[in-house]
Amino acid sequence: MRVAVAVLAGASALLVAGCGSQGIVLPTANGVSGTLAQPTTTPLAKGDPAAGKKLFTSEGCTGCHTYGPAGSHGTIGPDLDKLAQYAKQANQGTLPQFVAQSITTPGAYIQSGYQNVMPTTYGNLPAKQIADLVAFLTQK
Ligand code: HEC
């Protein structure tokens, strides 16, 4: 009954307005049933430092970076034992945010004294692996 009235009202509104879609009143759903999709991307997943350690070697990070916990001595990139200090100077969000950004978008912030030569392909790693690397690099 209500619906019929609404449609009638809509029809007359349309007549008066003479144009436009605003005049038409259509019955609308009263609510949504079922589950709504939850956002699947949390900003930073929780990583596993042990898995990150393996990735640090298998992804070739050791070739360019010195990092004590990985036993690496690369010098093309910054010494990651000083990462917390560098992150503070960079002032690009929290330490984990800065590290994640440095891995996925190396050019976003260039550590002073270094070239923008870090591969950009790490941005294609699964989020979980990024999180693992971040956990490994921020564990201390
Ligand atoms: C070809 C050499 C190279 C490889 C391989 C490489 N990096 Fe880098 N990385 C660099 C250079 C050079 C910089 C400094 C320029 C910059 O800030 O982007 C850097 C910067 C960083 C920074 C930011 C440090 C700072 O103080 O700004 C992090 C974190 C980092 N790399 C982590 C990694 C991780 C993790 C991997 C492996 C998944 C990796 N890098 C692989 C060369 C490399």
Average pLDDT value for residue range 100-119: 96
Q: Is 135 in the pocket of ligand 1 (CB under 6 A)?
A: no
pLDDT value of residue 126: 96
Confidence of residue 71 (pLDDT cuts 50, 70, 90): very high
List the one residue out of 20, 29, 26 whose CA is nearest residue 8: 26
What is the reported pTM?
A: 0.76
Average pLDDT value for residue range 119-128: 96
Q: Which atom of ligand 1 is nearest to the CA of 99?
A: 29
Give the model confidence (pLDDT) of 79-104 as tens digits: 999 999 999 999 999 999 999 999 99
Residue 20 reports pLDDT greater than 60:
no
What DSSP character marks residue 45?
A: P
Judged by average pLDDT, the poorest of 42-46, 58-62, 90-94 is: 42-46
With a pLDDT cut of 90, the percent of the chain lying above it is 66
Q: What is the DSSP string of 61-121?
A: GGGT-EEGGGTEE--SS--GGGHHHHHHHHT-SSHHHHHHHHHH-GGGSPPTTS-S-S-SG
Distance CA 56, CA 63 (A): 10
pLDDT value of residue 30: 72
Q: Which CATH superfamily is domain 49-137 in?
A: Cytochrome c-like domain (1.10.760.10)
Judged by average pLDDT, the poorest of 26-35, 49-58, 117-126, 131-140 is: 26-35
Domain ranges (residues) in the chain: 1-27, 49-137
Q: Which atom of ligand 1 is nearest to the CA of 106?
A: 18
Residue 2, both tokens: 């209500």
* Ligand 1 center from residue 138 Cα (angstroms): 14
Residue 79, both tokens: 């010494």
List the one residue out of 45, 4, 20, 29 whose CA is nearest residue 128: 45
